[in-house]
């Protein structure tokens, strides 16, 4: 058995409540060794991981890791929010009683670290000194060194973040145990994996994975699920799966801040890292604040809605990242950045990495190349077209490496929010952008955000998978209560942000090509939105919001046909009427949905009827 007190003394971990917690879990798990981690330990941990073959070198100062082949993504079915109050049950949060989940998880974790090291990772999910910092401290306990290395890149890590809390008990207890991955029955009726947030006890208990949001508990479990619950419980803030950017106009000197939610793998990181199109680069600059999570609150002094990114790094989708789509992302993982690639293809002889879309064709000389599972490409059967990299393969890098990082990303104050946008992968119906200035209609629009399911869905033809505010997998409490809280937080601001719905993914029904070139060009509709808010353009009112006229969009240098442009700037009233019926069913599932939301729904439906 380890000596927790000695390990904590040596590391200068003084918070007495954290010490109790570490002692408790050292005893439950039976860990042989305890190691308290700070960011300064990174270089040593990297060396240890290389020596143990948990990481392999990917050029100088970059690393490669491979996960167990059934452990490659966040698991929604196995994710549970538990509390002591059955009223917290929602449609999406997989609610279970805390009294059932806590003992179950303790039993799975009991004795699981015999012979192993338990790493103690104190962290902060906020810029230091931010007014939401009291909800942002946590201590992850994990059995996996690569998880520690990811946490150091994705969160602010060190004992200083928990030693001097105003209330020494106000940290999230986040316990991660990997388990025997081969024996967990992935996807069978006897699946052993449980990813539980006991939200009203501020405790996260994740068992059965060492991948991404299942294992880096600061990110999604704390930053989204626990944060959302705390924000509601305190009535103070929202925790959302949003990117957050600044758009700087070099001509006027003004900067605007936009945040927004797109479901997983729908373009948040790409938007946040956007390099303006060449034709607009002299005038505008886009700065990165965050690409996956934003916490929003009303600043008392100015009365404005503010936002900050609780994270300290990027866990980005590798697929299709290249010099054309996203040069910024490539530079954020240059040699020397300490970036870690997971589940991409790897060549141990040359230490190169590759993924689908990195170059138009895979490397012609396949000598040495291994696919994401470690199988040599050279051994493939002729005609085997399975991808070299896993579709959810990722890169992990800290914010300091992001070339367009905002100079004030670490400022305690956060930034004022001018606009909130929603968007998903929608192959028809949704125009390029439609703006909404009414609060209830904006929140209604977020609640009815739909996106193409990225896996087999039992959906009705023409119906999307709804993903309210892109938070469906992270919903911590009832959806009606969530809508109420959203209206209350944003509605308390003296100056309302403008809302908008965007869609970069409309396709031609015949040949399937994307009608809008997307990526860097996405700046154009956002500039229009800011102009609209400032009253510089008026757009065209439709039943579902204001859409730009062709002349209002800055289109110089865009590669798009007049027909495609026409399509993405128009509303298909019949398709929208059909959609309204689906929305009615969608909203009716939720208890305590505020009347304002239903009124907004009826207003939009009536406006569409009037159009016919
Ligand atoms: P999570 O990290 O899972 O929350 O995803 P995300 O929302 O940050 O998505 P990301 O920016 O990583 O993009 C996901 C995929 O969509 C990548 O393969 C991108 O190349 C692709 N993508 C992003 N923006 C666009 C766009 O404007 N047009 C098209 N066609 N594809 C895009
Ligand atoms: C997402 O899936 O939305 C992510 C990746 O951002 S993970 O952290 O694995 O959830
Ligand atoms: Mn995400």
Q: Quick: pLDDT tens for 373-407.
A: 999 999 999 999 999 999 999 999 999 999 999 99
Q: What is the pLDDT of residue 455?
A: 38
pTM of the model: 0.97
- Substitution site in 72, 224, 270 for ligand 1 pocket (most atoms within 8 Å of beta carbon): 270
Smallest CA-to-CA distance from 469 within 182, 268, 609 is with 268
Long-range contacts of 534-540 (CB under 8 A, 24+ apart): 539/435
> 285 in ligand 2 pocket by Cβ < 6 Å?
no
Q: What is the pLDDT of residue 463?
A: 57
Helix axes 595-611, 439-447, angle to 10 degrees: 90
Place of tokens 């090509």: 513
Q: Which atom of ligand 1 is nearest to the CA of 243?
A: 8
> 179 in ligand 2 pocket by Cβ < 6 Å?
no
The pair of structure tokens assigned to 294 is 């934003």
Q: How many angstroms does the Cα of residue 28 sit away from the middle of ligand 2?
A: 29
Mean pLDDT computed over 130-158: 98
Q: What is the pLDDT of residue 458?
A: 41
Q: Which atom of ligand 2 is nearest to the CA of 74?
A: 9
> 225 in ligand 2 pocket by Cβ < 6 Å?
no
Q: What is the pLDDT of residue 459?
A: 44
Q: Does the structure show a pLDDT above 70 at 460?
A: no
Q: Does the structure show a pLDDT above 50 at 104?
A: yes
Mean pLDDT computed over 453-478: 74
Q: Does the structure show a pLDDT above 80 at 270?
A: yes
Q: Does the structure show a pLDDT above 70 at 323?
A: yes
Q: Does the structure show a pLDDT above 60 at 247?
A: yes
Q: How many angstroms does the Cα of residue 155 sit away from the middle of ligand 2?
A: 14
> 264 in ligand 2 pocket by Cβ < 6 Å?
yes
Q: Which atom of ligand 1 is nearest to the CA of 272?
A: 11
Residue 452: pLDDT band by 50, 70, 90 thresholds? Answer: confident
Q: What is the pLDDT of residue 453?
A: 61
Q: How many angstroms does the Cα of residue 570 sit away from the middle of ligand 3?
A: 30
Mean pLDDT computed over 534-543: 97
- Substitution site in 73, 75, 260, 264 for ligand 2 pocket (most atoms within 8 Å of beta carbon): 264
Place of tokens 């911590």: 476
Q: How many angstroms does the Cα of residue 330 sit away from the middle of ligand 1?
A: 14
Q: What is the pLDDT of residue 1?
A: 76
Q: Which atom of ligand 2 is nearest to the CA of 211?
A: 9
> 518 in ligand 1 pocket by Cβ < 6 Å?
yes
Name the residue at shortest CA distance from atom 8 of ligand 2.
213
Q: What is the pLDDT of residue 451?
A: 80
> 269 in ligand 1 pocket by Cβ < 6 Å?
yes
Q: Does the structure show a pLDDT above 90 at 589?
A: yes
> 388 in ligand 1 pocket by Cβ < 6 Å?
no
Residue-wise pLDDT tens digits, 469-524: 999 999 999 999 999 999 999 999 999 999 999 999 999 999 999 999 999 999 99
Mean pLDDT computed over 177-186: 96
Element (H, E) at 583: helix 573-588
Q: Does the structure show a pLDDT above 90 at 454?
A: no
Averaged pLDDT score across all residues of the chain: 96
- Substitution site in 140, 204, 211, 220 for ligand 2 pocket (most atoms within 8 Å of beta carbon): 220
Q: How many angstroms does the Cα of residue 354 sit away from the middle of ligand 1?
A: 17
Long-range contacts of 467-471 (CB under 8 A, 24+ apart): 467/263, 467/424, 468/92, 469/240, 469/241, 469/261, 469/422, 470/240, 470/241, 470/242, 470/261, 470/262, 470/263, 470/264, 470/266, 470/422, 470/424, 471/224, 471/228, 471/240, 471/241, 471/261
Task: Name every residue whose Cβ is closer than 8 Å to that of residue 431 and which is 6 or more positions away in sequence.
Answer: 503, 506, 547, 568, 569, 570, 571
> 471 in ligand 1 pocket by Cβ < 6 Å?
no
Q: Phi/psi zone of residue 12: left (φ > 0), alpha (ψ -120 to 50 degrees), beta?
A: left
- Substitution site in 72, 223, 292 for ligand 2 pocket (most atoms within 8 Å of beta carbon): 292
Strand 203-207 and strand 172-177: the pairing is parallel
Mean pLDDT computed over 534-553: 97
Q: Which atom of ligand 1 is nearest to the CA of 521?
A: 27
Name the residue at shortest CA distance from atom 1 of ligand 2.
264
Mean pLDDT computed over 138-145: 98
Q: Does the structure show a pLDDT above 70 at 552?
A: yes
Name the residue at shortest CA distance from atom 5 of ligand 1.
265
Smallest CA-to-CA distance from 123 within 102, 101, 144, 147 is with 147
């Amino acid at each position: 058995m380890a000596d927790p007190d000695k390990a904590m003394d040596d590391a200068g971990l003084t918070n007495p409540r954290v010490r109790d917690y570490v002692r408790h879990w050292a005893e439950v798990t039976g860990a042989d060794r305890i190691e308290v981690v700070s960011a300064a330990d990174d270089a040593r941990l990297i060396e240890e991981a290389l020596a143990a073959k948990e990481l392999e070198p990917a050029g100088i100062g970059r690393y490669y890791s491979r996960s167990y082949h059934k452990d490659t993504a966040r698991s929604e079915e196995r994710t549970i929010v538990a509390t002591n109050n059955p009223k917290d049950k929602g449609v999406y949060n997989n609610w279970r009683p805390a009294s059932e989940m806590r003992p179950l998880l303790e039993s799975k974790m009991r004795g699981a670290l015999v012979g192993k090291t338990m790493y103690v990772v104190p962290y902060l999910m906020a810029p230091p000194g931010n007014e939401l910092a009291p909800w942002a401290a946590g201590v992850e306990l994990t059995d996996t060194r690569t998880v520690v290395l990811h946490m150091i890149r994705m969160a602010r890590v060190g004992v200083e973040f928990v030693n001097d809390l105003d209330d020494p008990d106000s940290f999230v207890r986040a316990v991660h145990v990997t388990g025997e991955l081969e024996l967990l029955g992935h996807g069978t009726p006897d699946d052993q994996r449980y990813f539980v947030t006991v939200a009203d006890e501020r405790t996260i208990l994740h068992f059965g994975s060492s991948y991404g949001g299942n294992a880096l508990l600061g990110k999604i479990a704390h930053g989204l699920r626990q944060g959302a619950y705390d924000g509601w419980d305190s009535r103070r803030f929202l925790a959302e799966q949003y990117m957050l950017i600044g758009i700087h106009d070099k001509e006027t000197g003004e900067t605007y801040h936009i945040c927004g939610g797109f479901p997983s793998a729908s373009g948040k990181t790409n938007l946040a890292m956007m390099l303006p199109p060449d034709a607009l680069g002299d005038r505008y600059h886009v700065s990165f604040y965050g690409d996956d999570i934003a916490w929003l609150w009303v600043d008392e002094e100015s009365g404005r809605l503010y936002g900050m990114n609780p994270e300290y790094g990027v866990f980005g989708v590798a697929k299709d990242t290249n010099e054309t789509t996203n040069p910024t992302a490539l530079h954020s993982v240059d040699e020397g950045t300490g970036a870690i690639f997971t589940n991409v293809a790897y060549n141990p002889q040359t230490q190169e990495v590759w993924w689908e879309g990195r170059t138009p064709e895979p490397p012609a000389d396949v000598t040495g190349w291994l696919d994401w599972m470690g199988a040599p490409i050279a051994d493939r059967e002729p005609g085997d077209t399975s991808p070299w990299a896993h579709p959810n393969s990722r890169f992990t890098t800290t914010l300091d490496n992001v070339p367009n990082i905002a100079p004030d990303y670490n400022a305690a104050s956060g930034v004022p929010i001018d606009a909130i946008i929603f968007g998903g992968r929608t192959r028809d119906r949704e125009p390029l952008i439609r703006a909404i200035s009414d609060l209830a209609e904006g929140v209604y629009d977020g609640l009815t955000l739909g996106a193409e399911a990225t896996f087999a869905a039992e959906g009705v033809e023409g119906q999307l998978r709804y993903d309210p505010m892109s938070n469906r997998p992270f919903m911590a409490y009832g959806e009606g209560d969530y809508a109420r809280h959203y209206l209350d937080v944003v509605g308390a601001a003296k100056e309302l942000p403008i809302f908008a719905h965007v869609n970069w993914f409309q396709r031609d029904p015949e040949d399937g090509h994307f009608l809008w070139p997307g990526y860097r060009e996405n700046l154009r509709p956002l500039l229009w939105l800011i102009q609209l808010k400032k009253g510089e353009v008026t757009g065209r009112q439709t039943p579902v919001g204001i859409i730009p006229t062709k002349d209002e969009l800055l289109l110089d240098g865009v590669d798009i046909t007049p027909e495609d442009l026409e399509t993405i700037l128009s509303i298909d009233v019949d398709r929208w009427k059909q959609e309204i019926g689906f929305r009615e069913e969608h909203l009716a599932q939720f208890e305590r949905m505020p009347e304002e939301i239903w009124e907004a729904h009826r207003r939009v439906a009536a406006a569409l009827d009037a159009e016919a």
